[in-house]
């Protein structure tokens, strides 16, 4: 995990956005990944963007996962989903994601909407603690990664956890081919 100084997230809820902290506090005892395997590390908020973060903290892009919020409309209703992809890939928004959302056109949700609806900071949005109705689409390469780094809901920290844990989140589906090489 590079030079990150991690500790169990449940002991440092102050490093998490409120919805993320609530999800950690309610982590199911029977979850396939123990809550103590969800770690958090403080970082410089100015270095939260993936490329800068990976360079500064010596974390490979191949173990850094991005959470992108995608939106599409169908019958006047906006449908949202979170897509979790490795930083070495890009979500297939107008192919795979569009079909899974069952919309005519999908695109990245506007920043203001993503921030308001998630209760998280832009650049720190994470799949842990998202609105319950949202599907969480996890690229199969993410769960095949032993440990990944994701956002924490804020820009001044990151979460480290086993990749398979992301596929086990409530509302998560593992999707083969969700992402393409960048």
Provide mean pLDDT across the span 69-79. Answer: 94
Level-2 CATH architecture, domain 7-181? Alpha-Beta Complex (3.90)
pTM for this entry: 0.95
What are the tokens at 9?
A: 């997230």
Q: How far apart are CA 68 and CA 130, in angstroms?
A: 12
**CB distance 3 to 57 below 8 Å:** yes
Domain boundaries, the chain: 7-181
Structure confidence by residue, pLDDT tens digits, 163-180:
999 999 999 999 999 999
Structure confidence by residue, pLDDT tens digits, 19-42:
999 999 999 888 888 999 999 999
Please name the residue that has the structure tokens 């490795």.
86
How would you class 22 by CB atoms within 10 Å of its CB: exposed for 0-12, middle for 13-18, buried for 19 or more?
A: middle
Sign of CA dihedral 14, 129, 42, 35: positive
Residue 34 forms beta bridges with which residues? none
> What distances in angstroms separate CA 27 from CA 6, 33, 49, 84, 135, one per listed residue?
19, 9, 27, 20, 18
């Amino acid at each position: 995990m590079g030079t990150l100084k991690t500790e169990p997230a449940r002991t440092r809820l102050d490093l998490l956005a409120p919805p993320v902290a609530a999800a950690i506090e309610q982590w199911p005892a029977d979850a396939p990944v123990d809550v103590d395997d969800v770690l958090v590390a403080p970082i410089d908020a100015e270095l939260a963007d993936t490329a800068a973060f990976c360079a500064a903290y010596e974390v490979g892009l191949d173990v850094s996962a991005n959470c992108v919020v995608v939106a599409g409309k169908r019958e006047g209703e906006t449908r949202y989903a979170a897509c979790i992809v490795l930083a070495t890939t890009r979500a297939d928004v107008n192919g795979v994601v569009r079909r899974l959302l069952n919309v005519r056109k999908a695109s990245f949700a506007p920043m203001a909407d993503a921030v308001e609806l998630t209760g998280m900071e832009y650049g720190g949005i994470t799949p842990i603690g998202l609105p319950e109705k949202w599907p969480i689409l996890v690229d199969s390469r993410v769960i095949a990664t032993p440990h990944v780094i994701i956002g924490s809901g804020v820009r001044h920290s990151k979460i480290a956890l086993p990749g398979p844990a992301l596929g086990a989140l409530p509302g998560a589906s593992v999707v083969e081919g969700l992402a393409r090489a960048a």
